[in-house]
Structure 1
């Protein structure tokens, strides 16, 4: 009998639950609508917190979790945020307004946390090595020096038929990476609200400079959307939901 390696001894297994109610899951997704008008009913604090916690379970690149959710509670700030949302009815009537912000300013911090807060007594050597190097995949450096270096290096590597991952060659690439991940968390959030009997409106129509000023964001923090949340008013959905033929979007190759 061969001796087990240390890695094999510590291998982690997590069985997938098989008792998920798919019909209720389908109901949550199909009943999620962009609600434009809410009632005066408040969302219980414990429900809002549970939905935010479920949002944070969204998949994300290298577990770097590049997001912050600002729950705007101060009446004056809420008034300014409604203004920043161009006075949309969904913002005016929402019980809660949450600004979802993608961040590229704490990649190093999150990489370090993946080592210090690894869910075993000590992070394996391979994990420590990974998180020492992975931040460079998303960072571009001062005056884009690192981004330009990667661009040249990747170009040379591809001439040798090397397969390479997506990386950030400039700040726009880094912003896109963080925004994609944050959008996944936003979807988790609104579906969680629906499961608890509440609704939402994901608003991308807002005055970004005003939102930045309101939340005092730096230039590596990007407002992705403002989510209005609350109880759906009887006339809160303005039109039936419809989608185009699936053949336009699904291709088997």
Structure 2
């Protein structure tokens, strides 16, 4: 039985509508200067945060940059990309450092009068053991050795058991939220461009990014301008990327 049982049966969206939305999303690099309404931004961020995340720890955060002066500072940080001239940039951050707070919040904000015993135990005992890597990663080193021994007898979740693995753990969940965010903005008629081309050292000087947060992309957002899409879409054949077992 799942640790987190669903409240209701999943709704069935129109496959054609979903395909049309996904196919319409392109990386746009030229935007019109008109601002994106706050109500649209908030709605799309709410949808982003409905993405699944490992153990529901929601290891992400977002910085919404609309101030023209701050946007101007980001343009050279993004090495002069045209997309970085968008009227809105959202910094998408992976947060391997927030698991402890998230465990506490889940217990405190559980959406039922009583927190089930299994939930309380998981977030007060199991998750802290799994995600706490200790000073200089020494606790993670101990856990890696322990897992090697215990895994001789049964299947175990072997990661994350290091600070490096925690970074990967957080980035995976944050990437799911980023895709939700792009599709939500597309549904409102706003184009996006996920930018990985930026100088992270200079970015941290411009934005107030927590030390252990990982900027995984700067998402440029706005109305698509003329010649905003540079090239036709190219995707490799399905048969090349998929194995049927």
TM-score by length of 2: 0.93
Whole-Å separation in 2 of the counterparts to 1:199 and 1:139: 39
Matched, 1:16 2:10: yes
Q: CA 1:166–1:33 in 2, change beyond 3 Å: closer, same or farther?
A: farther
Matched, 1:187 2:162: no
Spell out the pairing of 1:1-253 with structure 2 (5 A cutoff).
13-18=7-12, 20-92=13-85, 94-132=86-124, 133-160=126-153, 162-253=154-245
SS in 1 for 2:11: coil
SS in 2 for 1:149: helix
Q: Tell me, yes or no, if the aligned pair for 1:58 and 1:185 is still in contact at 8 Å.
A: yes
Q: How far 1:41 moved relative to its partner? A: 2.2
Whole-Å separation in 1 of the counterparts to 2:15 and 2:155: 38
TM-score by length of 1: 0.91
Q: How far 1:12 moved relative to its partner? A: 6.3
SS in 1 for 2:151: helix
Whole-Å separation in 2 of the counterparts to 1:47 and 1:166: 40
SS in 1 for 2:34: coil
For structure 1, the 5+ residue unaligned runs are 1-10
Q: Which has the larger radius of gyration?
A: 1
Whole-Å separation in 2 of the counterparts to 1:169 and 1:215: 30
- Shift >6 Å, 4+ stretches: none
SS in 2 for 1:29: helix
Whole-Å separation in 2 of the counterparts to 1:124 and 1:47: 36
Whole-Å separation in 1 of the counterparts to 2:7 and 2:140: 38
Greater CA drift, 228-237 or 36-45 = 36-45
Q: Tell me, yes or no, if the aligned pair for 1:139 and 1:168 is still in contact at 8 Å.
A: no
Q: How many residues align?
A: 240
Q: How far 1:64 moved relative to its partner? A: 0.5
